[in-house]
Chains A and B, each alone.
Chain A
Amino acid sequence: MIELVELSKNYGAFQALKEINLHVREGEIFGFLGPNGAGKTTTIKIMAGLMKPTSGRARIAGYDICKEPTKAKAQIGLVPDRPFLYEKLTAREFLKFVGTIRGMGASDLEAQMEGLLHTFGLESWADKLIENFSHGMKQRLVMCAALLHRPKVLIVDEPMVGLDPKAARLVKEIFRKESQKGVSIFMSTHTLEVAQEMCHRVAILDRGRIVAQGTAEELAAMTGQFKADLEEVFLRLTTEEEDESS
């Protein structure tokens, strides 16, 4: 469902991504891990069509994001790391706006919108201006917007930031349900427990390069510590890289 082939991105002389290759299957929850500045957000921005790669290609549900951006974007629901929204709209108006620019019919939009507002516990806030929302509420609203058009691919950057434990649990449940329905979820996160608990497979990105990918068990085996948890694996892999480069 998601295919990244030899994907690279340069910012001037700085190489942020170095020939990344990965493949996410239908219905799979894929964790994308890495230290700060590793290139996770850059990868997500390229996949979502917010940025162009320097070389390589990204295909979403069979469509190349650079060659067929409209078709590829129609398959994506995006939750960015910082939920910038239209502060002067109410939650309901915002969702209506997003649904309309995504070409949803009025009755379908109305039903989906009400359902998602209810699921994410935003019903009582639906007619309040977004400028009055907390970070967590904005995050939940962005998730509503991302799921509104029933995407085949959900791309999420740091989904748990700003969420209280109840909302975090809700999000995990929703992701699992969406995955069971066949939605592929590409999730970048720093929270290794979440990745361990939720993801079918993970990739570890360090300084623009994927240093390992597979299931948590496969990664543990790679490091020679079969009973290690993801945190130990992550630290070992990223520290090894640092040692090698120094």
Chain B
Amino acid sequence: MKNFLLSWLVFSPIVVSGWRRLETKEKRLRLVIFLSLGALLWAGTFWGLWRVLTYFRGIESFGDLLAWRLLDMVFLTFLGLLTFSNMVSGFSAFYLSQDLELLFSLPIPIANVYRAKLSETLVASSWMVLFFGTPVFLVYGVVYEAPWEYYGLLVLGIIPFLVIPGCVGVALVMTLARVFRAKRARDAVMAFAITCGVGMYLLLRFLQPERLVDPETFSGVLGYLVSLNAPRHPLLPSNWMVQVVAPSLFRRPGEEVFFLAMLWSTASAFVVMGTWWAQAVYATGWSKAQEGKGARGRPWRLIETLVEKASGIFPENMRPFVVKDAVSFFRDASQWSQLLLLGALVIVYLYNFAAMPLEKAPIDSWYLKNLMAFLNLGLAGFVVAAVAVRFVFPAVSLERGAFWLVKSSPLDLKSFLWAKFWASVIPLVVLSELLVVISNALLKVSPFMMVLSSCTIFLASFGLTGLGVGMGAMYPRFKVENVANISSGMGGLLYMILAVGFMGAMVVLEGLPVYIFFYSRFSGQAPGPWAYFLAGLCLAVAFVLMILAFWYPMKRGVQALEEYEI
């Protein structure tokens, strides 16, 4: 009991400061907006999965097996995500938090620090899975008219299910921090965690889950059923979790009590073993992480030289910012390691187009391919917006505490902000063109669609960058402790909404020219002058919209920075 109280005392400042963050009216409003958007997302997940499960339930003989298999995949994905996310949050909580110096100077046993930091890590890593998991579990319960035991067992099982990957992730982090030298530990943990995440993501995608709903790919119904019944790895907690909830859900005999005991006993044992491991390695690892031996990594020197040379294309007053930002990016493992995630995203995105069975479709494949290319424009825009919210929106806030240097220098803030714009727009244009041109080439679309798509995404990248840099300046977060949190605030959220709206408007405005193109192909008639006029008008409006999207936020961003008081 005394130990528990001590651990709680160590953990309580985090709870109290979290509560204090809601004290102002603006912050409560922000919470309301977040919750409303969350509710919307929840409703969407619920509706989509409800349709899928209702369809499964309608399939006689093996519909339940499909739903069972899907549940298996859901828990396996959650397990992987939790381990990955616990590693990232665990490293921040255990090695980077500002309260650690105080904690290590107090007469508190390591075991209590470990338990408090583990709790912090679990909360930081698990809420997302709980948030997205809840509608999934609820819709299963609703569609299969689950009895109350299902919900009870779910709650009882989910707690240890969250604790297990938490303990594993933290233990891995502590081991890496103990093994690697000083500041290299951080790079090693980030790179390892992100490589695991990327690996899992690629694996899941290349397993082609869509084949589950395409029985043709199996040699026969029997093979299909056998594959569905194939035993899952008995040592995976995700499998135990399924064994806890599935029997009551699908009304089949099972050993839920045994698997529940497995989950709880494993979680408890992992907490105890984690405490032992922390007592053995944590203090030494933390001490090593303070040592200042980190120098520039050799592999990056070539990139740094290239960046310096390439910066020659920028005006003189912007060059120092471009070089400084690029060099800092490649020296910060928490920044560059995200390129691995981005790489995986691009590979899977393009793979989806390569694997698309358009030839099997019952309608004309020319029409379908070009329609796909048009829809791809919106999708690529959405992907680019998601990338921009992570890389472009934080560009200003990444100055962090050192913004005083910019603000007190005679350099005008307009040049500063435009330097951020140009440094962001070039990689974003490369990424967006890569996505659109290669996917269009894979689809073998018509030259008209290829030109239209690549021009549109080129212009849209300017709009998305201007919007991101400008809004990042309007909603700066210079004081944020973890750079990953910069885009999770009110400004990031607003940017995402506006960016998606902007891309939606661009796609809608280009709908008419595309329709005219399709119509002339099918009817065999050349479009009349009015059609050309309307199409031209839509394209002109889209162009004006793009100009507005990057010029106006940039203008407001400069004003906001001029008004900003440090």
Contacts and interface: CB of A to CB of B under 8 A. Distances in A.
Interface string B179-210: 00001000000000000000000000000000
Nearest to A77: B408
A50 B410 contact: no
B332 A88 contact: yes
A241 B469 CA distance: 48
A86 B410 contact: no
A101 B295 contact: no
Interface stretch (B20-28, B142-150, B319-327, B551-559): B319-327
B327 A93 contact: yes
A89 interface: yes
Nearest to B317: A101
A194 interface: no
Interface in A47-87: 48-52, 69-71, 73-74, 76, 78, 80, 82, 84-86
Contact of B404 (A84, A96, A133): A84
Contact of B565 (A50, A86, A93, A132): A50
A103 interface: yes
A211 interface: no
Contact of A100 (B319, B400, B402): B319
Kindly state the interface size class of chain B when it binds its partner.
20 to 34
Interface in A34-58: 45, 48-52
Residue of B296, B324, B332 most packed against chain A (CB within 10 A): B324
B295 A97 contact: no
B327 A80 contact: no
Given A89-B327, A101-B317, A84 B292 contact: no
Give the interface SS of chain A, mostly helix, strand, loop or mixed: mixed
Interface string B400-417: 111011111111100000
Given A88-B331, A131-B292, A52 B410 contact: no
B201 to A, nearest CB: 28
Contacts of A76: 408
Interface residues of A, number: 35
Interface in B536-566: 563, 565-566
A98 interface: yes
Given A88-B332, A89-B328, A128-B295, A50 B404 contact: yes
Interface in B250-301: 292-296
Contacts of B563: 52
A195 B294 CA distance: 38
Contact of B294 (A52, A84, A93, A129): A129
Residue of A52, A85, A86, A129 most packed against chain B (CB within 10 A): A86
A51 B566 contact: yes
Contacts of A80: 404
Interface in B319-369: 319-321, 323-324, 327-328, 331-332
B253 to A, nearest CB: 59
Interface in A160-196: none
Contacts of A86: 324, 328, 402
Nearest to A49: B408
A118 interface: no
Nearest to A142: B405
A238 interface: no
Contacts of A101: 317, 320-321, 405-406, 409, 411
A80 B400 CA distance: 15
A25 interface: no
A90 interface: yes
A102 interface: yes
17 contacts: A45-B566, A48-B404, A50-B404, A50-B407, A50-B408, A50-B565, A51-B565, A52-B565, A69-B410, A80-B404, A84-B404, A89-B324, A90-B296, A93-B327, A97-B323, A97-B324, A103-B410
Interface of A: 45, 48-52, 69-71, 73-74, 76, 78, 80, 82, 84-86, 88-90, 93, 96-98, 100-103, 128-129, 131-133, 145
Given A50-B565, A76-B408, A129-B294, 7 more contacts: A78-B408, A88-B327, A89-B327, A101-B317, A101-B320, A103-B410, A129-B331
A-B complex: 3 closest residue pairs judged by Cβ atoms: A84-B401, A132-B292, A88-B328
